[in-house]
Chains A and B, each alone.
Chain A
């Protein structure tokens, strides 16, 4: 039994940032990296299935990203993932999420997991599509935005609750192997222990080049232009906190008639 958890390194912009000279992305000097928030929840889901089954299922994390994307894999190892795989190829620079899904499919075909748990979306670009694109390439049944699930290692199906608009839930039985995209709040992700972090630093990370997977990694879109949108429509309230609060108090009084 194996669970594959694709994890993404997401980009947070510094307060002041610049668009690259070619106008197609933000200059990398102004970016801080972190593990995608959703992936904390999918990894925790995998860990809980593993633990409930007495530790037998193997939890494998995989990321598609350059050298320094390794850091997010170490985070996952520190939380208990069994193995970590990083795939990269310079040709993937600028690749879109469907191309990333093709790379992930290459890994999934070799790993042959029983369950693939991706995040619903990534907190930087909010595509919300990689996991389901991956399911198509593997021809696996799938469900998106899973906020609760009932599954034990080896089950032939998983009962999921898709979280719909307005907080309504939709219970669906999905046969396995399956790809699910996991929603925030499905569990409470654990913190890595100090010991875990120390051990993870010394663990091997399996490295593959996209070419090793031998597929073509076509994108379905290309960035034409990236730009900072016209300034916000908010009227900024300047001054000291006391002055700002005084103005807010006025606005509240006007609006509530209090």
Chain B
């Protein structure tokens, strides 16, 4: 077994930042698992990302040309299977993303790899890979091993490792494989509809409500609270999916990033990783939740174990 394969991800000509985070994620295990770190980029025009990926910690860049510039699960899988058959890596890492949810499990099961998703800790025990992920709604950590697997594929959580800062000049080459005739066809990208609702990415103070709000009729009360304390009202996904607040207010992976936010108050939100993706960077997070084990408390600066309705009533009095 030789080395570590990192799979970069790009979309519409832009390299997704998680790609470089993965380079950092494997640096601690490179001694134990094989020294060479290869980064693969798949898709027509893959070479365009050469400079962005020429960073310290990368030994080799491999560009794999495909018929289409954009993601196709079957072509991606075939490309990686062919490359892995050549370099025989002990560890393959991909971003835990919407794209990888479309091919990683298939690649792993067809090739007999060890496999885990949404991994936020990578270590080596001797020459064996040990991965850490969450369980039971992120209330416990689960340490996994991969007995008997000579290659382990891990889908790594974004926003966990800091990308390398120093540029370098890794070797670069092309890799050819025979692309299968894909059974799916890209049609188009559709941007979320423009709205004239507030722009959550620009708000400095956001008060978000989650499923704990209970029912649609209770939204009004938190709209008032948000107005009273001077916050923009945001929400978690179930609230938007139910149509209680517009999608433009949803914070998280498939919604908005609270990019300018300095104070984020999460009420009745459990802290699923996809929600955190849009707000965990905020400097001051206050979480109100009835469940003392809610994982939101692991990113909050201040925590209140309590009922969001009671807290709302009391809080309002201070701003009357």
Contacts and interface: CB of A to CB of B under 8 A. Distances in A.
Interface of A: 11-13, 15, 17, 19, 26, 96-98, 101-102, 120-121, 123-130, 132-133, 135-137, 141-145, 159, 161-175, 178, 181, 184-185, 220-229, 232-237, 241-242, 244-249, 251-252, 255-256, 258
16 contacts: A13-B137, A26-B136, A120-B101, A132-B102, A133-B106, A141-B184, A143-B102, A163-B254, A167-B256, A170-B70, A171-B189, A178-B183, A181-B101, A224-B143, A235-B301, A252-B265
B142 A223 contact: yes
B297 A12 contact: no
Contacts of A121: 101
A121 B101 CA distance: 10
B17 to A, nearest CB: 11
Nearest to B271: A232
Interface stretch (B20-28, B30-38, B283-291): B283-291
A137 B109 contact: yes
Nearest to B310: A241
Given A126-B118, A168-B190, A171-B188, A237 B302 contact: yes
What's the dominant secondary structure at chain A's contact region? mixed
A234 B297 contact: yes
Contacts of A12: 136-137
B134 interface: yes
Given A141-B74, A251-B284, A245 B187 contact: no
Contact of A13 (B103, B144, B293, B305): B293
Candidate in B105, B141, B187, B298 with the most chain A CB atoms within 10 angstroms: B105
A245 B98 contact: no
Contacts of A168: 189-192
Contacts of B97: 165
A161 B229 CA distance: 38
A101 B118 CA distance: 18
Interface stretch (B42-50, B145-153, B166-174, B212-220): B145-153
B140 A228 contact: yes
Contacts of B265: 248, 252
Contacts of A124: 135-137
B3 interface: no
Given A167-B254, A234-B297, A184 B109 contact: no
Given A133-B108, A136-B110, 19 more contacts: A26-B140, A98-B109, A98-B115, A125-B134, A128-B117, A133-B105, A137-B109, A165-B16, A170-B189, A170-B190, A171-B186, A172-B184, A184-B238, A220-B113, A222-B146, A227-B143, A235-B301, A236-B303, A241-B314
